[in-house]
Structure 1
Amino acid sequence: MRLENKTVIITGGGTGIGLACAERFQKEGARLALFGRRKDPLEAAARRLGANVLAVPGDITKEEDVDRLIEITLKQFGQIDVLVNNAGTLGGGALHETPNDMWDQVLDINLRGLFLLTRRVLAHMVERKSGSLVHISSILGLVAVPQTGAYNVSKGALNQLSRSIAVEYGPMNIRSNAVCPGMVETDMTEELRGNAELMEDWKEHYYPLRRFAKAEEIANACLFLASDESSFITGTLLPVDGGFTAM
């Protein structure tokens, strides 16, 4: 029960890594507020998980939706102890062919929206002088690959934001860490993973463990950083990548 009596907000909480975090955290005693744009999977997850789980549909890029999430969570649970910033989107293509709207969408969701919510949560945590922020970044915030310029930039900036928070708010007992997954078997990567030949090449040449991650394995890392077991860890960028960044 590593998160007993703690309230956790998880963005993108209805599917993928967010849902895996919800399932893992609830087993450790957390009260959950799941936030995301897709209402049906969000509410289905909340129903399945049961007591002490809220589903709050909304768009992280809209301040009114972020404000509503904070208001509902505090009204129901009275406090916010942990924020898992998991909501995100992909965007691909050669940089010189990237349309303005694609660039803006990726940065809007992966960075600006995350800032809007984090700012509100930090204000609450400053009052309580306690909290843990766990940001789902990517190995592409540590290294760059072709055809994903906007995504690379958004995750690199997220890593610096996480470290900035750690430095600025550490004196208030607020920790901030980023998890940097490699390829994870989720709905978001399903289309890319459909290229079987390419995926086998990646496993053979870029992943020493010769496989991709399960969402539950990312959730385990998030649980550690969210809990008091990592009480002296802040400002870290934790690759959970099967050895990709060691190559």
Structure 2
Amino acid sequence: MDNFTFSKERPELESFRYLWKLDDKEWVRQRKADWKHLAENGLARISAKGKRQYKDYFLQAKKDDFIGAVNLYFLTPFDSAESARDVFWSKLIDYQGREELLLGYLERAATYGEGISWIKDDARYFADGVLGNEYSEVIDTTSRPRNIAPDPGFIGEQFLRKTFLLLKGDIARLAYLPAIDYYISTIKYANKGKLDDSIGIDVYIDSAQAVLKSDSGRACALDSAKEICQREETIRANWAMTVKLP
């Protein structure tokens, strides 16, 4: 658990201090404004103690107590896919934290970061620097070799369900979009037996095409529909590889 945290005495903190541009007055001003937004919105339900810890880390890279891996990662100001990858694989986060990030970071970023200008960039950095375009095992060797990648069948089923709900207008946000190729690649592992009968491939693609034709949905639904239609052939090919299990 201790590996989740920054500490002034640790050399790994020094390796990433450059991400906090504390000599740039405009960066500091915007960072303070972003913190105010987060404290009043995405992080509104966090305890007062938690907010103080998060604020110190978010604004100045000060870390004196435990912060969970996903929140710590969310509060880190990445500037590239390389920095997102380097922090992910650093000693700041242990294998359990990396498991949590692979499964839940994009969802947390989309939820907590709504209304923040840089959240799309950070999500894309994570997608490009950590996930990649194709699902594969992720072998963590920091203690002993182990695969920390999430179950691809579960991921594929979640992707199909949530994109379908978005296209139908039942939900307003989709965390998967920055890494859509990665998630589409997991469809082949999905268990058709766990999917609702209504999520058939033709209905799925037709729903995306209908959103594009109407051009009246939310921006996230329109963007998702466009990406899905552009990848229709790949989605159909992956769907054809799924199996129906009990």
Tell me if TM exceeds 0.5.
no
Q: Which has the higher contact order (CA 8 A, sep 6+)?
A: 1
For normalisation by structure 2, the TM-score amounts to 0.30
Structure that is richer in helix per residue: 2
For normalisation by structure 1, the TM-score amounts to 0.30
Computing the radius of gyration from Cα coordinates, the structure with the larger value is 2
Structure that is richer in strand per residue: 1
